[in-house]
Amino acid sequence: IDMVATDHAPHLKVAKDQDYWKAPSGMPGVQEMLLLLLSKVQTDDLTLPRLVELTSYNPAKQFAVANKGQLKEGYDADLVIVDMNKKGVLDESMLESRCGWSNYTGLEFNAWPVKTFVNGNLVWDGEVISDEWKGKLVTRSDV
């Protein structure tokens, strides 16, 4: 495995609650992916350095995205701080996705993100505290 990602298909629950052949494919998952991967770190199926490699370093390298994927001078300071001892149950009130549901609600996780920085700016500390996270188009660089 070189990379781990999610397609994050945030369809409304009402769109999913219909006949299988009529329901849109996919499910939300971008917010839950890190929780799931951290649970694999907790069970020693994955290391934190490998998690970073799979979710940051390798995608930035594969898609030639400049100044991303590493903690390095001159690179964008896009960081997630995690508490590897924080326990909690995912519930719908925690979800940022507009679809408002997740297949993972009700599950207990033993490691949680506690802060998010975008370009060095604190944008999430248990709640959204800044709109600095609003992205910009990122394209392949000339490498």
Domain that holds residue 92: 13-124
pLDDT tens for 7-55 read 888 899 899 999 999 999 998 989 999 999 999 999 999 999 999 999 9
In a domain, 129, yes or no: no
In a domain, 2, yes or no: no
Element of type H or E holding 42 = helix 30-42
CATH assignment of the domain containing 118? 2.30.40
Integer Cα distance of 62 and 58 in angstroms: 6
Of 7, 45, 91, 125, the active-site residue reads 7
In a domain, 6, yes or no: no
- 7 in catalytic set: yes
**Residue 60's closest CA among 49, 75, 73, 45?**
75
pLDDT tens for 76-130 read 989 999 999 999 999 999 988 889 999 999 999 999 999 999 888 899 898 888 7
In a domain, 142, yes or no: no
Q: Give the pTM.
A: 0.86
